[in-house]
Amino acid sequence: MAVAASTALMAPPTDSNVPEAPEAGPSLTNAPQLPKPPPLGARGQLGLLQPPSGAATNVAVKVERDGSVSITEQVTVPGGQHLVRRIPLKVPATEEQDRVYGIRDVTVDGAGKTELTGEQLVATFDGGAATLKYKVDGAIADVGGAQQVRWQVASGWDGELSRVTASFSAPTRETPTVDCFAGPLGSDRQCSLAETDHSGVVRIEQDKLAAGERVDLAVQLPAGTVPANARFERVDSVGGAFVLTTLTGIGFGVLALFLVLGAVAVWLSRRRDKGALTAGTGPVDVLMRDGDRVFFASPDGVLPGQVGTVVDETVDVVDVSGTVVDLAVRNYLWIAEVRGAGTVDWQIARRNAPDEHLVAFEREIYTALLPEGTDSVLLSELRGRGTVDLRVAGEAMYADVVRKGWFSRRPDKSRSKLTWVGVGLVALGLVGTAVLTFTAGHALLGVAVALAGLAVLLGASWVPPRTSRGRRLVGQVRGLLEYLHTVKVADIPPVDREMVFSRSLPYAIVLGDTEHWLRTFEALDPSADGSAGLYWFGGLEGDRDLRRFAAHLPSFLSALDGLLAESGHLRSLRPEPVPA
C-alpha cells in the first residue's frame, strides 16, 4: 500500500492517561504531508533491490497486546569492520518536551554485545552477523482519535549502513497508515520505500544511511488497539523553568494575598500610631501618696530626656537640657548663676559622681559636661573649648528607648528586624530561582519569594517603629502634660511642694511648658523646708519665692541650648508647647 501521511499523526496525545504533548514523536516536528511512493514497478518488488555491499540491518517491529513493542535487529557487518549503535532513551519531541522510552529484556546473539544505562542502549557489533532483541515501552501514543506507534528503527550508528530494511506488525485487522523519514534528525526526507503488504505488515527500505542519521517510523493504528504508554518530560531549560504552571500560579496567588494582608497591616499600624499622637489617656496620676507625703513618679518610669524622643522620635537639644536640669534635681549636679562685671555666666558643678542609678545616656551627658577630674565648669569655658561632643550621648538615648520597649528599632534608623527578614527572603528567592531553574523547574516560585522579600523591605520602612507600649506612653505623656496644666499647689503638702515642683520641672522643659509651670509655682517659698533657696540651684538663696528664679532659669536654658546646638549633632529647636 502507498505511503500516507497525515498531520493528525503529529498531534499530541489527548487520552487522560497519557501526558499531554505537542507531538507524538522525537523527530517528525511539523512533518509535511507525504505523497504516495512511486508504484512498485518504478522501483521493483521488495527484495529485488541490489544486495547490500556494506553493513546492513533488518529490523522487525512487533506491537504486543500489552502496549510494549518487541524489536529484533539482524545486523550484518563486513569482516574487519566494527560498528556501534547508540539508542537514546530520551529524544526531543518539541522545544519544550522530550519523549522518554524504556528498553528492557535486552539480548544479543552472534558477533555483538550490549550495555544498557539510564540514558541509552549501546550495542557494539564486530565483523559477522548478530541478532539484537529487546522490548520498548513508551512507543504508543493516542493521537487525534487514533493511535500512533513511533520508533527509530535505525539511529545512532557510528558508521554508514548500506541498507536498512524493516517490517512492522500489530494486533489489528485494519490496514495501518505509515510515515517513514530518513536522514538527519528532524529532516523530512522520505524513506526509499514504504508499503503495506496484503497481510497488513508494513515494510520499508532505505539505501545508504550515513553515520548519525536515522530512519524514523510512525505507524497509525485504530484507536484502542493496545494500551497507550507514551511518556513526555518537560525540557530542563531556562525558558521552560519560567513557564506559568498550576504550582507557580498558586505561589503567586499566595504572594498576592500576602501583599494585600501586609498592606492592610501597615495601614492599620500607621493609623494606630497617628492616633496615639492625638488621643490622650486623660489626666495621669503622677503624684503618689504615702501617708501624708506626696512624691512625683513619671508614667512608665520615663525620664525627661526620653520623653521628647518617644513623642517625636528624635533626640533634640531640649532633651539634653532637660536631662541636665534633671541631674541637678536628682542631686548629681549643681547649677548656679555667676555674675561678673556686667556679665552673667552659669556654673555646673559636680555634687555626686555618676552611679548605677543613671542610665547610659545620662552618664554620657554628665561626662561630656564634667570629664574625669573636672569638678566644676562654666558654660563660657565649655564654649571656649569648642563644641560639646554629644554623639555618644545621642546614640545612647536612641538605644535606650529601644531597650525600654517603646520602639522596635531605633527611630533614627530605617533598618529593623523586618528589614533583615526582607533581605533574607530576597536572598532565598534569588537562590531558589537559580536552583529551581536548573533542577525541578517552577522557578517562578523563587521569583514570588523574592518579590515577597522586596515587599517586606518596602513595608519595613513604612511600619512605625513605636511599639504598642510606646503608643501607650505617648498617651500618658499627654496626660502628664495635662497634669502640668491642672495641678493645684494647695493640694500638695507644703513640705513636699519644692520636691514636686523640682521633679516635674524637667518634664515641663522638654514638653515646652516651662513658663506655665514656673508661673504656677512662682509663690513657692523654697526656704519652707528649712534650707535657703532651691536645693539644686544657687545664687538666689535669699529669695522667699520663685519669681526671680522664674526669670533666671530661661536665661540658663537659652545659654545651655545655644552651647549644645553648636555641637551640630542634635536639632536645636525648642519645642512649642504640646497641646493638652
Per residue in 94-129, pLDDT (tens digit) is: 777 888 999 999 999 998 999 998 889 999 998 889
Q: Are residues 212 and 297 in the same domain?
A: no
Q: Are residues 411 and 343 in the same domain?
A: yes
Residue 529 · residue 494 · CB < 8 Å: no
Q: Give the domain range for residue 411.
A: 283-416+482-565
CA–CA gap between residue 204 and residue 42 (Å, rounded)? 16
Q: Are residues 162 and 303 in the same domain?
A: no
Q: Domain tally for the chain?
A: 2
Q: Is the dihedral of CA 46, 48, 49, 52 positive or negative?
A: positive
24 within some domain: yes
DSSP-derived 3-state class of residue 10: helix
pLDDT digit string, tens, across residues 284-314: 788 888 888 888 888 889 999 999 888 888 8
Q: Are residues 215 and 331 in the same domain?
A: no
| CB-count exposure of residue 408 (10 Å: 0-12, 13-18, 19+) | middle
Q: Cα dist. 475→278, 486, 494, 562, 574 in Å? A: 8, 17, 30, 30, 21
Q: Is the dihedral of CA 247, 252, 255, 261 positive or negative?
A: negative
189 within some domain: yes
Distance of CA 149 to the CA centre of its chain: 47
pLDDT of residue 244: 77
CA–CA gap between residue 46 and residue 202 (Å, rounded)? 12
User: b/e string for 493-532 if b means 16 or more Cβ within 10 A?
Assistant: eeebbbbbbbbbbbbbbbbbbbeebbebbeebebbeeeee
* Per-residue pLDDT band at 282 (split at 50, 70, 90): low
Specify the range with the lowest mean pLDDT, choosing from 9-18, 69-78, 491-500: 9-18
Residue 406 · residue 473 · CB < 8 Å: yes
* Per-residue pLDDT band at 509 (split at 50, 70, 90): very high
* Per-residue pLDDT band at 438 (split at 50, 70, 90): confident
Q: Are residues 357 and 230 in the same domain?
A: no
pLDDT of residue 102: 92
- 236-260 average pLDDT score: 81
Retrieve residue 526's grid coordinates. Answer: 523654697
Q: Are residues 230 and 294 in the same domain?
A: no
- 58-87 average pLDDT score: 92
For residue 393, the one-letter residue type is A
Q: Are residues 228 and 291 in the same domain?
A: no
Q: Which of 220, 235, 250 is the last residue of a domain?
A: 235
Highest mean pLDDT among 93-102, 213-222, 438-447, 524-533: 213-222
* Per-residue pLDDT band at 240 (split at 50, 70, 90): low
Q: Are residues 412 and 530 in the same domain?
A: yes
* Per-residue pLDDT band at 576 (split at 50, 70, 90): very low
**What percentage of the chain carries pLDDT values higher than 70?**
86
3-state helix, strand, coil in the chain (%, to 5): 35, 25, 35
Instruction: Indicate if the pLDDT at residue 48 is higher than 80.
Output: no
Residue 9 · residue 24 · CB < 8 Å: yes
Q: Are residues 297 and 354 in the same domain?
A: yes
* Per-residue pLDDT band at 50 (split at 50, 70, 90): low
pLDDT of residue 34: 40
* Per-residue pLDDT band at 341 (split at 50, 70, 90): confident
Q: Are residues 214 and 304 in the same domain?
A: no
Retrieve residue 532's grid coordinates. Answer: 535657703
Q: Are residues 313 and 212 in the same domain?
A: no
471 within some domain: no
pLDDT of residue 117: 86
Q: Are residues 291 and 355 in the same domain?
A: yes
Considering the chain, what is the average pLDDT of its residues?
83
* Per-residue pLDDT band at 63 (split at 50, 70, 90): very high
123 within some domain: yes
* Per-residue pLDDT band at 521 (split at 50, 70, 90): very high
Q: Which of 199, 214, 235 is the last residue of a domain?
A: 235
User: What single DSSP character describes residue 382?
Assistant: H
Q: Which of 218, 235, 252 is the last residue of a domain?
A: 235
- 161-183 average pLDDT score: 90
Retrieve residue 211's grid coordinates. Answer: 553515520
293 within some domain: yes
pLDDT of residue 270: 80
